Amino acid sequence: MNPLRWSYRVAFLVGFLICVGLLGFALYAEYQWGMEPCPLCIFQRIGFMVMAVFFLLGALHGPRAGGRWFYTGFILLGAVFGIVVAARHLWIMTLPPDQIPACGPNLAYMFDAFPFEKALKMVFTGSGECAKIQPILGVPIPLWSLLWFVLLSIWAIRATSRRAAPRLRL
């Protein structure tokens, strides 16, 4: 069975399952391996959640023609958000030790104690824990996330732009 010839619904269901698998792995790494997520990691998870929701909605609805681009647009929005966050995270990881921001409060405290705009600015400024990421298979987690955001975007565009095979009418 060639995955490049799957129907729109099946392709979107597979996209949903991949997103759920990635989120499941993130939770496994957090609770079983003790890898505490930094605020940027949590924002990357939000990007995958947005993509998962619209992959699932697209698979369940299975719209025709232009309606497919509605779901793909929101998937790409979640992916672009995730790509920006993952790229920023990778940039923070490459800073010299003397330029890495000091460790800050956790995400829940930031949004409770500060106005939304200031908390968002603090998250994207990064903190010391954002630079200390354990690699998985020798690759940092933000790079894995970036790769998956790009691959899932291509997957959604491919599934949406592919024309359905003509049906035989008897």
The CATH number given to whatever domain includes residue 38 is 1.20.1550.10
Does 53 map to a domain?
yes
Per the model's pLDDT, the better-predicted residue between 39 and 131 turns out to be 39
Would 41 be classed as within a structural domain? yes
Please spell the DSSP secondary structure of 9-76, one letter per residue.
HHHHHHHHHHHHHHHHHHHHHHHTS--PPPHHHHHHHHHHHHHHHHHHHHHHH---TTHHHHHHHHHH
166 in any annotated domain:
no
In residues, how long is the chain? 170
| Residue 80 covered by a domain | yes
Q: Is residue 169 part of a domain?
A: no
Residue 15 included in any domain: yes
pLDDT in the model for residue 128: 57
Q: How many CB atoms lie within 10 A of CB 153?
A: 20
Residue indicated by tokens 């998250």: 123
What are the Cα distances from residue 166, in Å, to 53, 63, 67, 163, 169? Answer: 29, 16, 19, 9, 9
Residue 120 lies in a domain: yes
Domain containing residue 30 = 3-161
62 lies in a domain? yes
> For residue range 96-114, what is the model confidence (pLDDT) as tens digits?
777 766 666 666 667 777 7
Q: In this predicted structure, which of 19-23, 43-47, 86-90, 119-123 has the lowest mean pLDDT?
A: 119-123
Q: How many other C-beta atoms can be found within 10 angstroms of the C-beta atom of residue 73? A: 12
Name the pLDDT band for 152 (thresholds 50, 70, 90). Answer: very high
What is the count of structural domains for the chain? 1
Q: What's the one-letter identity of residue 152? A: L
Q: Give the H or E element holding residue 141.
A: helix 141-161
